[in-house]
Chain A
Amino acid sequence: MTARIGVVTFPGSLDDRDAQRAIRLVGAEPVALWHADHDLQNVDAVVLPGGFSYGDYLRAGAIAALAPIMTEIKDAAGKGMPVLGICNGFQMLVEAHLLPGGLIRNAHQQFIRRDQRLRVENADTAWTNAFAAGEEIIIPLKNADGGYIADEETLKRLEGEGRVAFRYTGINPNGSLNDIAGLTNEAGNVVGLMPHPEHAVEPGFGPNTPAAMRSGEDGIKFFESALAAIARVAA
C-alpha cells in the first residue's frame, strides 16, 4: 500500500508544494491538508512546511500553532505518527510545545539563505533513519528567525538524551545555542529543523556540491526515512 503523507497548508505557507513533490519523488502519496480543518484524512505522516504563516505576526509560528488542525496533529504525534516541521514548521512545533525551546531572530538580524552543512546527530528518528549517525549533509537554509534558544537545564537534557537531531557545522549561521539546527522528541517521531530538506531532493535543483552545480539531494533521505518508519508501524 502506498504511504500517504500529509502536508498542511497555512495562510502564508510557501514550501508546501515542494514538500509534496519530495513526497512524490520517494513514491509516497502527498495529501494536501488544510489548517482550518479538523481532519488528517487518514495520513500516515505529516509535514508542517516552511513559509511565513500569518506573516510571522506575534511570533514566528505562534498563530499557526493554534490552528484547528494542530489539535489532531498533537493527538497523532502523541500516538507516534511521524511529524516533520521544516523552518516555519519547526517554529510551529516549538510554539505548540511538541518540541522544547524557542526560535528567535537570527543573532545578526539578517535574513539568511545559504547551502548549509549539517551533521546528523541522531539517526534513529522517523525522519533520519536513512542516514548514518555523524553523517554530514548539505541542504538549503533560509530564514529570519532561526536562532534556537532554551534554558540551560533544557539544553543539558536535550544533549544528554540525544535529542539534538542536527547540528550546524562549518559555521553557526544564526547564533543557535549549541549549534542546534534540529531536534527530535523523546519518542523520535516528531522532528523539527530550520534548514529545508525538501529543496534538496532532485539533481538540478538542489545545493551545489563538489561533484556538480545544484546536484545536492541529501534531503531525499528525510522522506525515505519516513517511508521506512511508516512501513515499520504497518508491519
Chain B
Amino acid sequence: MPTIVVDVMPKPELLDPQGKAVSGAFARLDVDAFTGVRIGKRFELTVEGEVTEEILATARKVAEDVLSNAVIEDVVGIEVVE
C-alpha cells in the first residue's frame, strides 16, 4: 500500500526543548560527535490504490493546515513511498 510520508520540524530559529534534552544526554554519555540535535515528527498517510496528483495535493494541504503549525514548525518533506 503506498504511503505518503510527511516530515515536520520545529523552525530552526526556535528553541527545541526536546532536542536540547537529547543533546544534554549525549554530553553525559561522552558522545561529542554532534553539535546539535533537533526533534521533529514523521507522519505516514496510507493510501489505498494509486497516489494521484489530487491525493498529493490533499496531503500537501493537510500537511500545512493540520499536521504542522506554520508559526512554530516547517513541513520539510512530503514523499511517496511504496
Chain B 57-82 per-residue mask, 1 if CB under 8 angstroms from chain A, else 0: 00000000011010110000000000
**Which residues of chain A in 52-66 are interfacial with respect to chain B, using CB atoms and an 8 Å cutoff?**
58-59, 62, 66
* Residue B21 at the chain A interface, CB threshold 8 Å: yes
Q: Tell me if A107 is interfacial: C-beta within 8 Å of chain B.
A: yes
Interface residues on A, range: 20 to 34
Residues of B within 8 A of A66 (CB): 66
The stretch from A93-101, A124-132, A189-197 touching chain B is: A93-101
> For the complex, what is the distance from the CA of A109 to the CA of B22, rounded to whole Å?
11
| Contact across chains for B72 and A102 when beta carbons are under 8 A apart | yes
Cβ-based interface call for B18 (8 A): yes
Chain B interface residue count, Cβ-Cβ cutoff 8 angstroms = 12
Closest to B70 in A: A102
Residues of the A chain whose Cβ atoms lie less than 8 Å from the Cβ of B17: 104-109, 147, 175
Q: For the complex, give the distance between the alpha carbons of A106 and B15 in Å.
A: 10
B residues bordering A, Cβ < 8 Å?
10, 13-15, 17-18, 21, 66-67, 69, 71-72
Chain A interface (Cβ within 8 Å of chain B)?
Answer: 58-59, 62, 66, 94-95, 100-102, 104-109, 147, 149-151, 175
A-B contact pairs, 20 of them (CB 8 A): A58-B67, A62-B66, A62-B69, A66-B66, A94-B71, A100-B71, A102-B69, A102-B72, A104-B17, A107-B17, A108-B17, A109-B17, A109-B18, A147-B17, A149-B14, A149-B15, A149-B71, A149-B72, A150-B71, A175-B17
